[in-house]
Amino acid sequence: MDKREIAHYIDHTLLKPVATWEQIDELCKEAIEYETASVCIPPNYIARVKAKYGDKLTVATVIGFPLGYEATGVKQAECETALEDGADEIDMVIDITAVKNGDIASVTKEICSIKKICGDHILKVIVETCYLTKEEKIALCGAVTEAGADYIKTSTGFGTAGATIEDVKLFKEHIGPGVRIKAAGGIRTREDMEAYIEAGCDRIGCSSTKVLF
């Protein structure tokens, strides 16, 4: 694939807790130059990025990040604030403890409530595959589909492991027709990016976009 074509799949990402404005600003400049799908940034930088760059780039942010066990009301408030600040896309972390307790219904309900707030804005649901069994991953494909989210996403990049091709293939087999796939975590080379796109990903979370250029 052409490097520009690959870049169109990438959410150019910087979510480190020590990320400075200078680093975020550089990320945005790179995203515009490389024509990535979006930048994915901490929520406290959304308004500043939008004020400087406006519609020159698509801004994604995270809620319930990185552990996912905040109360649903907290995630809803995070989502509302992010959208008010100018976020175009939301990446939310599910309540993994609910999954481990077998309560997929509450996960589905929470995703649905966040999607309702998002409206036409894209919602990506991070399931953090490194903590899940195969059966739980399949169940979450159903939850994300039923709740009407736009993407199922493998990982935060802060867990014990990141994306795998096997998980992408599993998602592809079990998600509904309206759900797309985002892989994130540990994707650092052009070969990795091409492999995940070929496996069926529509987005890739990546902090290493520069390797293409």
Decide if 41 contacts 15 (C-beta within 8 A): yes
What is the 3-class SS of the chain, one letter each residue?
A: CCHHHHHCCEEEECCCCCCCHHHHHHHHHHHHHHCCCEEEECHHHHHHHHHHHHHHCCEEEEECCCCCCCCHHHHHHHHHHHHHHCCCEEEEECCHHHHHCCCHHHHHHHHHHHHHHHCCCEEEEECCHHHCCHHHHHHHHHHHHHHCCCEEECCCCCCCCCCCHHHHHHHHHHCCCCCEEEEECCCCCHHHHHHHHHHCCCEEEECCHHHHC
Angle at 38 between CA 159 and CA 87, to 5 degrees: 90
Q: Which residues contact 112 (CB under 8 A, 6 or more apart)?
A: 146, 147, 148
- Which residue among 124, 153, 167, 192 is the active-site one? 153
> Which residue is catalytic, options 11, 85, 88, 91?
91
182 is catalytic: yes
Among candidate residues 11, 85, 182, 192, the one labeled active-site is 182
Which residues have a catalytic role annotated?
Answer: 91, 153, 182
